[in-house]
Structure 1
Amino acid sequence: MLIAYVDESARRRKGEDAWVYTLAAVLVEAEAVADVREAMQGLRFGKSRSVHWRIERPARRVVLAAAIAQLPVVGVVTVCLHRAEVRSERARRRSLVRLFGELSGRGVDLVVMESRHEQDAGDRAVLTGLRRASAVSHAMTVTWELASTDAGLWVADCLAGAVSWWLDGDGRYFEVLEPLVTILDVDGDS
């Protein structure tokens, strides 16, 4: 069984009136999930309850990227560059369409999305539309979980962060992860 953990990153590009929205999926075979979770639990700092890319210091990000590069995972990341007037929810919908299609095509059985609470309904609507159009497998199960409940989501958070930082000119973390990652472009301005 193939499982995908999914999280996002959105940030304004330095010195530009443009945004980058990334949606990262980390694919793990079911028999490796416990090892991935255990490794990520071991990467928590101090009394932190989780690992979150945005709040980590640069030295910790180096450690996280190196550790993730050693895990039995592969990554698929959608990248949507868009103007400031394009809402991030539109960028997310476009990214979800591309990502769900890719995950379905790769035979992913279970997708675990980081929950955004009331905004999860929008994700479900995208998924329902794709299923009705037979664009994704009806057999692919999608759930929404809090990051605190599954350390697999922490890997997706770190990957999304590393890619968005790379697109903003700081590639030192992504360089370590690049061999594991497929990047999918998403048109954000049309």
Structure 2
Amino acid sequence: MLIAYVDESARRRQGEDVCVYTLAAVLVEAESVLEVRETMQSLRYGKSPLVHWRLERAARRSVLVAAIARLPVVGVVSVCLHRADMRSERARRRCLVRLLTELSVRGVDRVVFESRHEQDAADRAVLTGLRRANAVSSEMAVTWAVASADAGLWAADCLAGAVSWWLDGDGRYFEALAHLTTVLDVDEG
């Protein structure tokens, strides 16, 4: 059974013409889920309840990507570089369509998204549309969970952050993960 943990990263800076939206999946065979969770749990800093890319220092980010690179995982990231006048939710939908389609083709059995609470309904609507169009397997189970509920999501958060930083010109973190990651370009349509 193949499980995908999914999280996002977005960059939108005032005055910039190009924004970045990434949706990253970390694919794990069921028999390796415990190893991934335990490794990510061991990487928490102090009393922090979770690992979150944006809150980590540079030295810790290097430790995080090195640890993830040693795990039995594969990364798949959909990336939308878009104009500043495009809403982030539209970029997310484009990335979501591309990512879910790819995960279905790869035979993923279960997808766990980090919950965005009330915004999860929009993701469900995209999923329903893809299933009706037979673009995504109806057998693929898709759920949403808060980040603190599953440490597998932390690996996806780190991958999304590393890819976003790479696209922003700082590739030092993504270099450690590039060998296990497929990047899917999504046009802004």
**TM range, normalised to the smaller chain?**
over 0.9
Match of 1:85 in 2: 85
Is residue 101 of structure 2 the alignment partner of residue 108 of structure 1?
no
Q: State the SS of the aligned residue for 2:98.
A: helix
Match of 2:22 in 1: 22
- The 2-side partners of 1:119 and 1:15 are apart by 27
Deviation of residue 17 (structure 1)?
1.7
- Count of equivalent residues: 189
| CA-based RMSD | 1.1
- The 2-side partners of 1:33 and 1:14 are apart by 39
Is residue 143 of structure 2 the alignment partner of residue 134 of structure 1?
no
Q: Does structure 1 retain, via aligned residues, the 8 Å contact 2:114–2:146? A: yes
Match of 1:178 in 2: 178
Deviation of residue 18 (structure 1)?
1.3
Is residue 3 of structure 2 the alignment partner of residue 3 of structure 1?
yes
Q: State the SS of the aligned residue for 1:50.
A: coil
Identity rate, percent: 78
Structure 2, unmatched stretches of 5+, are none
Structure 1, unmatched stretches of 5+, are none
Could you tell me the TM-score, scaled by structure 1's length?
A: 0.98
- The 1-side partners of 2:154 and 2:20 are apart by 20
Moved >2 Å (runs of 4+): 12-16
Q: State the SS of the aligned residue for 2:46.
A: coil
- The 2-side partners of 1:65 and 1:40 are apart by 11
Match of 1:163 in 2: 163
Deviation of residue 14 (structure 1)?
9.2
Q: Does structure 1 retain, via aligned residues, the 8 Å contact 2:16–2:84? A: no
Q: State the SS of the aligned residue for 1:171.
A: coil
Could you tell me the TM-score, scaled by structure 2's length?
A: 0.98
Q: State the SS of the aligned residue for 2:27.
A: strand
